[in-house]
Amino acid sequence: MTLLPKSGRPRVMVLGSGERPQVAAEALRLRTLIESHAEIVVWDLGFSADLGNVTADLAVVLGGDGSILRAAHQMGYRQVPVVGVNLGKLGFLADLSPDEFNTALPEICSGRFRVVEHLMFECRLEREGAGLTAPRRVVASRLGLNEAAVLAGAPFAMLQVHLYVDSELVTTYSCDGLIVSTPVGSTAHSLSAGGPILRKDLQAFVISPISPHTLSNRPVVDAASRVYELLVPRPHAGTTLVVDGRVLGALEPGDRVRIEQAAPKFQLVEAAGRGYYRTLREKLGWGGSLLASGD
């Protein structure tokens, strides 16, 4: 599907990490190309602009997957389709090289592209009220794209984490931490902890323990429509809640982490010829081949 206006030039936001010399130089080189096909309504190479009142049709993000995460957070509840230009390393999300972007941009600005929507989530850190009958209060919240993780922290002893799904106790993990990841985040921290790879457009979460004490505690995949809650009865001094690589807050006894599907969707422009499994083959080095019969 396309979300571009039926007439006129598309309105484009250009976002990136301008503190990196490679990004700043490439942005200047590509600006003329972008301006020849679109109207630039935001030029922000510091992820500092307030996009709340910006009307745009596309966002061109220059950098790696970290830059795309920052752009998704910057857009907040007003997500627009993202074209990722990979100036980083792996680039699961920032899939186009600068040379490929040169070829793809005219097609994209003509509306000949597909948008794939990806799950985002709301993460809230809830704390008991001051009195015995006081309601729980939200002390911190954040919109996320990759994952929410409870990390044990100092003094780096085993952590007990209760997992609830739709208010039902699933299990108690003895681990170094617990990750609740979207399909987009399944190739990030969750994968390094032994979690599965989920196709990016699935509507599901994967729960992956970090170094679980019991080998039978394996990653679990469940529907995105459910509500996930993490409770740490005895957090360490350094136990923290981290969302997409940024600390949301330190956990206190009785705190509850609530994770559920968010209303906005992260929208990624899929360029022609850049299918999902091609990206996995290239980025994860899946270079094996099947031998012909008799070889």
The Cα–Cα gap between 81 and 100 comes to: 18
3-state secondary structure of 45: coil
Catalytic site includes residue 176: no
Q: Distance (Å, rounded) from C-alpha 98 to C-alpha 183?
A: 26
- Alpha-carbon 262 to chain mean position: 12
Tokens describing residue 2: 């396309």
Contacts of 117 (CB under 8 A, 6+ apart): 201, 265, 266, 267
Distance CA 198, CA 206 (A): 8
C-alpha pair distances (Å), 176 with each of 215, 221, 240: 13, 20, 12
Catalytic residue among 44, 57, 65, 244: 65
Report the distance separating Cα 78 and Cα 101, nearest Å. 24
Any idea what DSSP says for residue 295? -
What's the rounded Cα separation, in Å, for the pair 226 and 97? 37
Determine which helix (DSSP H) or strand (DSSP E) holds 212, and give its type and residue range.
none
Supply the residues annotated as catalytic. Answer: 65
